Amino acid sequence: MTAKKKPKVFITRKLPDQVETRMRELFEAELNIDDRPLSQPELVSAVQRADVLVPTVTDRIDAALIEQAGPQLKLIASFSNGVDNIDVDAAAAKGITVTNTPNVLTEDTADMTMALILAVPRRLTEGATVLTDRRHEWAGWSPTWMLGRRISGKRIGIVGMGRIGTAVAKRAKAFGLSIHYHNRKRVSAETEEALEATYWDSLDQMLARVDIVSVNCPSTPATYHLLSARRLQLMQPTSYIVNTARGGIVDETALIKCLREGRIAGAGLDVFENEPAINPKFFKLATEGRVVLLPHMGSATLESRIDMGEKVIINIRTFFDGHRPPDRVLP
Ligand code: DGY
């Protein structure tokens, strides 16, 4: 980046202190100190004065907003891996480049996926709740109390074998699960061999044969409700589903129905269709031990968030140095 003029960078949410300090040093940074999600009018005002917008997954960067951007807005450098909240086509049509922060949150998101894969069948939150809130419900160990289902020896079906899906597969293999996956493209023969993974061209057929389904594909118009009512009903009644990708990939209403009717044994969800709103029926299912719910925490480690910030900075600097930013998202 040249020393001449610092770009005006508008950051929509509070970022880790280290990242904000670097942003202040390098750019004319406008920060959201109190971390309040911004309203659409506030975002409009931001895109009318900033050279760069740094949004997060909580901001809706749709065509209507992009349409109102001033000619100075050149870059949307998202502090996120997923860009389903950004209309990348509308940005491209206006000559605005979009970047994201891939790779750096892969391992943490895969860890959280594995945590849910363990938590649901092994009744982790149910057990933990017995010893919280001073409820004193524990009468002591019993041979038949709090029994879950074994993980090892079971089959996991990974929907979306990209970076995060592959990282989940590595962990699942270490826990003794056999790896099955569905993806638009087959992964390399070496990866398949290393993971002893079985590829399913047909998602329907895979769903009917696995014990745990892990949703790890990106959210796009093509994956909206990919796990539809019809597909969820293909799953075995003893099976579980875990979603750490995006809520909209699973038809939540259908999932709730399947869980209530015992067509699926349980679900671990870190993401929801209308975040931060959550269908209240999930809360009842949680108290019944049929779901474990997390508030979109997949990448929530200090390390991931600092690395994401560093990626945003590199993308901005490279762009203003006149080069193609490393994490450019193509329409
Ligand atoms: C992302 O970046 O897409 C995650 O969902 C939030 O960190």
106 CB within 6 A, ligand 1: no
**Would you call 249 helix, strand, or coil by DSSP?**
helix
Longest dimension (CA), the chain: 72
Per-residue pLDDT of 100-109, as tens digits, reads 999 999 999 9
246 flagged as catalytic: yes
- Model-wide pTM > 0.90: yes
Taking the domain 106-293, which CATH number applies? 3.40.50.720
219 lines ligand 1 (CB under 6 A): no
Q: What is the mean pLDDT of residues 249-278?
A: 98
Cβ atoms within 10 Å of 279's Cβ, excluding its own: 15
Predicted confidence (pLDDT) per residue in 191-202, tens digit: 999 999 999 999
Residue 39 backbone phi and psi in degrees, to 5? -80, 165
Ligand 1, from 19, 56, 57: best to mutate by most atoms within 8 Å of Cβ? 57
Q: What is the pLDDT of residues 142-194, one digit of tens each?
A: 999 999 999 999 999 999 999 999 999 999 999 999 999 999 999 999 999 99
Give the pLDDT of residue 256. 98
Q: How confident is the model at residue 3 (pLDDT cuts 50, 70, 90)?
A: low
* C-alpha span between 268 and 293 (Å, rounded): 6
Q: Contact, 268 vs 120, CB < 8 A? A: yes
What is the position in ligand 1's atom list of the atom closest to the CA of 79? 2
Q: Which of 50, 188, 115, 312 is CA-nearest to residue 66?
A: 50
Query: Which of 29-43, 133-147, 313-327 shows the lowest per-residue confidence on average (mean pLDDT)?
Result: 133-147
Whether residue 284 is predicted with pLDDT greater than 60 in this model: the reply is yes
Which pLDDT score is estimated for 289? 95
pLDDT per residue over 305-320, tens digit each?
Answer: 999 999 999 999 999 9
Q: What is the pLDDT of residues 205-236, one digit of tens each?
A: 999 999 999 999 999 999 999 999 999 999 99
Domain boundaries, the chain: 8-104+302-320, 106-293
Of the two residues 171 and 35, the one the predictor is more confident about is 171
Q: How far apart are CA 241 and CA 264, in angstroms?
A: 8
Q: For 8-104+302-320, CATH number? A: 3.40.50.720
pLDDT of residue 243: 99
Q: What is the pLDDT of residue 9?
A: 98
Question: How far, in Å, CA of 12 to CA of 57, rounded?
Answer: 10
Catalytic: 275? yes
* Length reported for the chain: 331
pLDDT tier at 132, thresholds 50, 70, 90: confident
C-alpha 141/C-alpha 123 separation (Å) is 15
Mean pLDDT for 293-297 is 98
CA 75, CA 46: separation in Å to the nearest integer?
Answer: 13
Helices (H), 185-228: 189-195, 203-209
In angstroms, the Cα distances linking 214 to 6, 9, 151, 279, 312 are 43, 37, 14, 21, 28
Token pair recorded at residue 106: 């892969």
Alpha-carbon gap, residue 114 to 326, rounded angstroms: 29
pLDDT of 57 higher than 70: yes
Token pair belonging to 24: 């202040």
The fraction of the chain above a pLDDT of 90, given in percent, is: 94
**8 Å CB contact between 166 and 187:** yes
Average model confidence (pLDDT) across the chain: 96
24 catalytic per annotation: no
82 CA: nearest ligand 1 atom: 3
pLDDT at residue 301 greater than cutoff 90 = yes
C-alpha of 98 from chain center: 19
Grouping H, G, I as helix, E, B as strand and the rest as coil, residue 191 is: helix
Which of 152, 207, 163, 164 is CA-nearest to residue 182?
A: 207
In short, whether 178's Cβ falls inside 6 Å of ligand 1 is: no
More confident residue, 135 or 214: 214
Which 3 state secondary structure label does DSSP give 125? helix
| DSSP, res 11 | E
Q: How far apart are CA 86 and CA 311, in angstroms?
A: 18
pLDDT of residue 1: 55
| Model pLDDT, residue 131 | 87
81 lines ligand 1 (CB under 6 A): yes
**113 CB within 6 A, ligand 1:** no
**Cα(305) to centroid of ligand 1, in Å?**
10
- Are residues 313 and 22 in contact, defined by beta-carbon separation less than 8 angstroms? yes
